[in-house]
Structure 1
């Protein structure tokens, strides 16, 4: 499949005569192997890492950079600078060209590529920017700057660069494909899906675009669409470990943990060093309570990549399930140290701090998560979690604002209505409190606590009939909750139903 392996020699030759290229770029044929190598490697690298996550996927510019730098096949002139005894050897030629002609745009691109291969994305970015400054028509420089920005997690700026390239570049599907990953990482799933779809319209057998789109569908809970894309990718290439990993995550989301384990095991048969598959199988075993099976997989993953933030985050959650909060915090903190732009580890660590009643630290982590790209549902979780902290700290106005924002982002999450109604009740706004409980009951009608809360508000307003109706409904759902019988007993006392009140209080006493 030529798409996933990069351009053929003939397409490179065609590109060299493109009118969109500057004259300098047309002369500098030695630069093209850099781009061709990137196009050979970028698809599989980005697809593998973007499919790594745990619903939603874990974003990792640092992982992308590491895998890209160690896997790509550079031309002889631009070997991986880290393999050279001295970085200056690799820089000698471009430095000489720049000294000879400071307006040589391609020399800056060449030097940027050396820094890029050494993993120095900051210096690479500076050189690519200088190349564009010297020659705004240098498509190679704009593409390279976009890629460097992608690696540095500046997704908005990277998308802008790829947009320019997608207009000028004959094989623009490469730029659109990378722009799709920018949108995905930038938490703009609709734009990501649109771009992956454009790529597939141009190149129907672009398996990595299928994997990328499936991954976005997965993050949105569109499991049927995700399954269809993973299956389509496997129909093109049955040896795609990333597709089996994706199917494994989908089976896990559907609650079929055994099939999830099977899919991840298939991926490991294809590539025993697939970190995503090791993590996916471990997570499924965690959820089954088989920690004796999951931890060896985490250890194998860390032996392959000791700096896998994804693995530390997942192992941290396993420790959390086991009730070992100290080790969970240590793993979440390690994940954050490695990958400070990943919001999921902040969310998970905040949850541990909250459970430990350390609301100040939990608030800090929830705040950090709100500042990083998250799909709306997860961003809603961050605001809702921080609202819970404000509630415990008696910061009523801040809590109300955060619950409201959380509801805007995730309107079907019941607890945000539950606790916001409590705040409205505290502010003597019974109408708003009842409206929130009405909405929560419409979403989750089988929740006895919601009916109990609404019954108490009705009772405080003197509406005993509605209060009694709600408390009866709640008792029907949870007949072993003594508090419900106490509540109904009080309402019956208010209605002067003394025998019923005594009977309810007697039931409560027996349950206590």
Structure 2
């Protein structure tokens, strides 16, 4: 199309390309702000103006993924990869969509392809580890986490992520060791404090668990999981009043926190407050299984 010819939107080609570029840039900031609907609107117009931009398709796919519109995300990543077949980012993100849809083998294929292009990408390695864990291939998942840690042992997140996998495997001593490494790198790392507190609770080291959970809540007063875990610790230590206070707060922060309803229901049951216990168990069943 020559400079003087207008596209279907009434803009000369150069102007259409320029507008599409600005829309892509604005969408990138919207994504950074988690304003995904605004990003999708900009990217939809951008794609209409300049459908050959792999970046626009990829970015819109990412916004669809983050808002759990998985089929739309797949369509966008497919289009992006037609234009740019060797994009590790698009492959990794499409793999995450496949994983969310339960298509774990397809996810692994995308992750493996992406890692041939970008072998030292921590987020793709972690996504692959998660997929392997979902297939109960735990040893292989641990190998991926070891690769992530080897990239930079000073990154607290990497230790905490492997700690989470150990905790999932009920290997609490190993989990505690990894959370401790994370906290050596960042003593104020709330996630590691909260998760280590939970792991300590699981092996009946309640006082140590309480210390970690107190500190996590001090640093992040809206950490619903830390409140839930601390409530369970208080219950184990025989302080039902403190336990109920923490569980009330956890549920206030996250009304969909199934585990907190179950634990609070058990405490209320032990206190013979059966109507309230029934209400909590009923809520837990509704949230987890859709019971009426």
TM range, smaller chain: 0.7 to 0.9
Question: What are the within-5 Å matches in structure 2 for residues 267-282 of structure 1?
Answer: 267-282=216-231
Q: What residue in structure 2 maps to residue 179 of structure 1?
A: 128
CA contact (8 A) 1:315 1:331 kept: no
CA contact (8 A) 2:183 2:192 kept: yes
Instruction: Give CA-to-partner distance per residue, 1:114-147, whole Å, 9 cap, x none.
Output: 4345453442233223322454323232122223
Structure 1 pair 243/100, CA: closer, same or farther in 2 (3 Å)? closer
CA contact (8 A) 1:33 1:75 kept: yes
SS for the counterpart of 1:238 is: coil
Q: What residue in structure 1 maps to residue 181 of structure 2?
A: 232
Q: What residue in structure 2 maps to residue 244 of structure 1?
A: 193
Among 272, 283, 292, the alignment partner of 2:232 is 283
Q: What residue in structure 2 maps to residue 54 of structure 1?
A: none
Structure 1 unmatched ranges of 5 or more: 1-27, 35-73, 341-348, 350-512
CA distance in 1, matches of 2:134, 2:123: 17
Among 278, 283, 287, the alignment partner of 1:326 is 278
TM-score computed with the length of structure 1 as normaliser: 0.46
Shift of 1:326: 2.5
Q: What residue in structure 2 maps to residue 266 of structure 1?
A: 215
CA distance in 2, matches of 1:242, 1:254: 19
Q: What residue in structure 2 maps to residue 158 of structure 1?
A: 107
Shift of 1:81: 3.4
CA distance in 1, matches of 2:62, 2:229: 34
CA contact (8 A) 2:115 2:121 kept: yes
Question: What are the within-5 Å matches in structure 2 for residues 33-112 of structure 1?
Answer: 75-76=29-30, 79-81=33-35, 87=37, 90-100=39-49, 102-112=51-61
TM-score computed with the length of structure 2 as normaliser: 0.76
CA distance in 1, matches of 2:112, 2:256: 32
Shift of 1:198: 0.9
1:305 aligns with 2:263: no
CA contact (8 A) 2:26 2:42 kept: no
Using CA pairs under 8 Å that are at least 6 residues apart, name the structure with larger relative contact order, 1 or 2.
1
Tell which deviates more after alignment, 133-142 or 199-208. 133-142
SS for the counterpart of 2:248 is: helix
Structure 2 unmatched ranges of 5 or more: 1-20
1:147 aligns with 2:85: no
Question: What are the within-5 Å matches in structure 2 for residues 17-36 of structure 1?
Answer: none
Structure 1 pair 326/234, CA: closer, same or farther in 2 (3 Å)? same
CA contact (8 A) 1:313 1:335 kept: no
Structure 1 pair 170/240, CA: closer, same or farther in 2 (3 Å)? same
Structure 1 pair 318/200, CA: closer, same or farther in 2 (3 Å)? same
Structural RMSD (CA)? 3.3
Q: What residue in structure 2 maps to residue 474 of structure 1?
A: none
SS for the counterpart of 2:229 is: helix
CA contact (8 A) 2:23 2:43 kept: no
